Amino acid sequence: MDALEKREKEFNKLITIVSIIVPVVVAILFTVKLPNVNSLSFLPPIYASINGITAVLLVLAVFAIKNGNRKVHQNLMTTCIGLSLVFLIMYIGYHMTSDSTKFGGEGLIKYLYYFILITHIILSIVIIPLVLRTYAKAYLKKFEEHRKLAKITFPIWLYVAITGVIVYIMISPYYVHA
């Protein structure tokens, strides 16, 4: 096994661990309510905006690479990963200090909301290893493998980012503001 294969194997092990730990920790933290801490109820529009910005940057990153601008593509994708981390921290903070908001819509809109929400949640878990593996392929300069994986990763990540905004817009009328 050469050094590159060894390094990729190490990355894959770390990616697997992170991809398991993040959703488990998020699920556990959802059960934790911090006592005597002010609600962070101002965060949902901020982290929804982060999702929107991420969606735009993902599209711009694709245009950059299609136009041969690898450095801009790399910077945009690194920014998207950073924004996703900021989103995750805010999302956890909000749910540790605020009660969950119930969707108040009825009829068809309720089914549509829950369909979008459930697919958003499931794919937000699926996207973690996809993003990390895609990024690792580029980091290791395995660009052909990176391209193949990115064709799967991009539409899923874009869907998660866009549906994050849609979920916020649909549930925002039901938030209780402190």
The CATH number of the domain where 54 resides is what? 1.20.120.80
Residue 36 lies in a domain: no
The number of distinct structural domains making up the chain is 1
Quote the tokens at residue 57.
Answer: 């940057």
Per-residue pLDDT at 177: 56
Report if residue 154 sits inside a domain. Answer: yes
Q: Which residues contact 121 (CB under 8 A, 6 or more apart)?
A: none
Q: Checking phi first, is residue 38 left (phi over 0); if not, alpha (psi -120 to 50) or beta?
A: beta
Residue 9 lies in a domain: no
Give the C-alpha separation, 122 to 117, whole Å.
9
**DSSP annotation string for 114-147:** HHHHHHHHHHHHHHHHHHHHHHHHHHTT-HHHHH
Has residue 128 been placed in a domain? yes
Sequence-distant (≥ 6) Cβ neighbours of residue 15 within 8 angstroms? 129, 132, 133, 136
**Sign of the torsion formed by the C-alpha atoms of 23, 24, 26 and 31:** positive
Residue 18 belongs to a domain: no
Q: What confidence score (pLDDT) does residue 178 get?
A: 46
> Is there a domain that residue 124 lies in?
yes
Tell me if the pTM is above 0.85: yes
CB 44 within 8 A of CB 168: yes
CA distance 144 to 20: 27
Would you say residue 88 lies in a domain?
yes
Please indicate, yes or no, if residue 32 is contained in any of the structural domains: no
Q: Which of 117, 130, 119, 139 is nearest to 157 (CA)?
A: 130
CA-to-CA distance for 116 and 60, rounded, in angstroms?
24
Per-residue pLDDT of the chain (178 residues; tens, 9 = 90+): 788 889 999 999 999 999 999 999 999 988 888 877 787 889 999 999 999 999 999 999 999 999 999 999 999 999 999 999 999 999 999 988 888 889 999 999 999 999 999 999 999 999 999 999 999 999 999 999 999 999 999 999 999 999 999 999 999 999 865 4
Structural domain boundaries enclosing 159: 41-174
